């Protein structure tokens, strides 16, 4: 990558922000923030970082919940050549410390709400710089310092846009640092602009973390001159209220949020007719609950499928492809977007026949993984043969629609048979009493692993029994797939990315075993 002197030219998002002046950019906690104010804040923060001794080549972590300043800091850091890596607010201090060491970061910018975490983190990792997004008991107030700076771009001289380093959620083990390809990030943004079905007037509601998928929709939103209704967190009642108050035309959610919205009593008397597109992804969605949502919200759902190593848009299921007359289609993650290749490979390294399960592998400009930091063997395995091996197992139908069966690491081996939890989850999801479900394998002396289902019952369905749901699966999928046991719970634990945390569910049964097969 070559040095460039015109820093603003290297960040298209700054051009978008400069183009729309006093148009609303963010709505957040009662405030309306214009494009001009956002751009000025970015410039002020960039200057404040330099004044405080943070400059090109340095690396800092960002620990913050949803607030516009998270976007400001990340963009300001890019502008002056500073590396940033986001920490998930629900992550453990142990994982945070690992990421700081692994990414070679010696500073942190944090939301004051997480001051206690930073204090503890400072006992494990040396922190040269500690900056808070507002007054706090430790470090210096970055927002206060920025208010004294000029709102013009800083003069840094030639700097390089730092390579992005993104860490996986750690749901299947220790987080991995993904060194990202700038070409892939640019391709993903362009694909989102071209292939996502945006409303003519974009007013998008975001309640998922900006340090994950929600953050990637900011550039295409700003490219269209749209505005972001940003929530600090998610609850179904506040989400619905925000749709109604701001007349949101779009939203981005994960399936677990959709289920809670559908079960929210205020849904029946909230005006959600302004919504033209609801983007959803990050985890499989129950076809039954998706059909229910379509009947309530209309044909507004658009699914995106990707992963950190190939972000957001490996395939899409467009609004018109959510066809209630073809219910199986609601289990699909869509068809690949133009410009990339997707194939399904078997264990023998060959493409599987259509209709047979195989690992989704992708190649082309969307592949963001250049390497896993410090993990050459895992990098080589992930990129074997010039393809990114996603770890997702899928089938393909005659029309080219992909159906994710499961993660390879989620597969249960019981009595020598391979069982994919997704099939069982989809089956149980059809039952009217099941609101949410996760299926895992647990140790079993006879079978090696046994199928266990964890179920959240829907309101007013407390009478459903374990045996009745087990029999429900047995009747539809056969005894091999029927859970050997089933637990009813109030909630299913979620990872920091909003996905069912199967690592946490397995830990209750596998304990501290180092080998998670039996």
Domain CATH number, residue 53: 3.40.50.980
Task: Give tens-digit pLDDT for 310-363.
Answer: 999 999 999 999 999 999 899 999 999 999 999 999 988 999 999 999 999 999
Same domain assignment for residues 109 and 186: no
Task: Give the pLDDT score at 59.
Answer: 93
Same domain for 319 and 214, yes or no, is yes
What is the pLDDT at residue 234? 92
Q: Is residue 342 part of a domain?
A: no
Average pLDDT for the chain: 89
Please indicate, yes or no, whether residues 151 and 233 belong to a single structural domain of this protein: no
Return the pLDDT at 169.
58
Domain of residue 60: give its range: 35-162
- 339's CB contacts (< 8 A; 6+ apart) are 187, 191, 364, 365, 366
Contacts of 351 (CB under 8 A, 6+ apart): 343, 344, 345, 358
Query: Residue 385: its pLDDT value, please?
Result: 93
Same domain flag for 58 and 114? yes
Strands, E assignment, 286-423 = 301-307, 310-317, 335-336, 341-345, 358-363, 369-372, 388-396, 402-407, 412-414, 417-419
pLDDT the model gives residue 383: 95
Q: Angle 35-51/12-19 helices, nearest 10 degrees?
A: 130
Residues in the chain predicted with pLDDT less than 70, given as ranges, are 1-10, 169-173, 415-416, 446, 496-497, 511-518
Check whether residue 260 and residue 372 sit in a common domain.
yes
One domain, residues 187 and 326? yes
Say which residues have a Cβ less than 8 Å from residue 177's Cβ, sequence separation at least 6: 85, 99, 102, 103, 165, 166, 167, 372, 373, 374
Q: State how far Cα 156 lies from the chain centre.
A: 33
Residues 157 and 261 in one domain: no
Residue 355 lies in a domain: no
Is residue 449 included in any domain, yes or no? yes
Q: What domain count does the chain have?
A: 3
For 159, other C-beta atoms within 10 Å of its C-beta total: 20
In a domain, 388, yes or no: no
Quote the pLDDT of residue 344.
97
Looking at residue 319, which CATH number applies to its domain?
3.40.50.12780
Query: 152 with 194, same domain?
Result: no
Residue at 8 is within a domain = no
Indicate whether 194 and 315 sit together in one domain.
yes
CATH number at residue 497: 3.30.300.30
Domain shared by 157 and 219, yes or no: no
């Amino acid at each position: 990558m070559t040095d460039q002197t015109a820093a603003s030219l290297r960040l298209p998002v700054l051009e978008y922000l400069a183009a729309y002046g006093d148009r609303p950019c963010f709505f957040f906690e009662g405030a309306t923030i214009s494009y001009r104010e956002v751009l000025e804040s970015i410039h002020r923060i960039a200057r404040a970082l330099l004044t405080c001794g943070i400059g090109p080549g340095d690396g800092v972590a960002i620990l913050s919940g949803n607030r516009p300043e998270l976007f400001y800091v990340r963009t300001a850091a890019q502008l002056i050549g500073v590396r940033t890596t986001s920490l998930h607010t629900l992550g453990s201090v142990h994982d945070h410390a690992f990421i700081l060491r692994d990414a070679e970061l010696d500073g942190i910018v944090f939301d004051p709400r997480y001051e206690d975490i930073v204090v503890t983190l400072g006992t494990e990792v040396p922190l040269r710089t500690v900056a808070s997004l507002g007054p706090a008991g430790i470090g210096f107030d970055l927002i206060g310092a920025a208010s004294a700076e000029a709102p013009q771009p800083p003069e840094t001289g030639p700097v390089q846009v730092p390579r992005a380093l993104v860490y996986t959620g750690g749901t299947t083990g220790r987080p991995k640092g993904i060194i990202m390809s700038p070409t892939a990030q640019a391709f993903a943004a362009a694909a989102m602009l071209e292939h996502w079905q945006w409303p003519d007037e974009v007013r998008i509601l975001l309640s998922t973390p900006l340090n994950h998928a929600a953050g990637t929709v900011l550039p295409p939103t700003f490219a269209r001159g749209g505005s972001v209704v940003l929530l600090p967190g998610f609850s179904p009642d506040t989400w619905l209220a925000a749709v109604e108050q701001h007349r949101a035309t779009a939203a981005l959610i994960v399936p677990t949020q959709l289920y809670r919205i559908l079960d929210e009593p205020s849904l029946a008397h909230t005006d959600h007719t302004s919504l033209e597109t609801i983007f959803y992804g990050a985890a499989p969605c129950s076809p039954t609950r998706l059909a229910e949502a379509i009947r309530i919200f209309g044909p507004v759902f658009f699914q995106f499928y990707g992963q950190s190593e190939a972000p957001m848009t490996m395939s899409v299921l467009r609004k018109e492809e959510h066809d209630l007359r073809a219910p199986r289609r609601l289990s699909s993650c869509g068809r690949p977007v133009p410009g990339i290749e997707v194939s399904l490979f078997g264990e023998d390294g060959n493409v599987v026949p259509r209709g047979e399960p195989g690992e989704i592998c992708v190649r082309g400009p969307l592949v963001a993984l250049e390497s896993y930091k410090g993990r050459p063997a895992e990098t080589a395995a992930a990129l074997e043969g010039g393809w990114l091996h996603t770890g997702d197992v899928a089938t393909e139908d005659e029309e080219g629609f992909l159906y994710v069966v499961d993660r390879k690491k989620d597969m249960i081996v019981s009595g020598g048979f391979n069982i994919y939890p997704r099939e069982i989850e989809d089956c149980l999801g059809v039952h009217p009493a099941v609101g949410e479900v996760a299926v895992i394998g647990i140790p079993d002396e006879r079978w090696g692993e046994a199928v266990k289902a964890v179920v959240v019952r829907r309101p007013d369905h407390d009478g459903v029994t374990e045996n009745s749901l087990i029999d429900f699966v047995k009747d539809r999928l056969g005894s091999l797939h029927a859970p050997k046991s089933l637990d009813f719970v109030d909630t299913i634990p979620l990872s920091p990315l909003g996905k069912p945390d199967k690592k946490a569910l397995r830990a209750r049964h596998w304990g501290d075993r180092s080998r998670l097969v039996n």
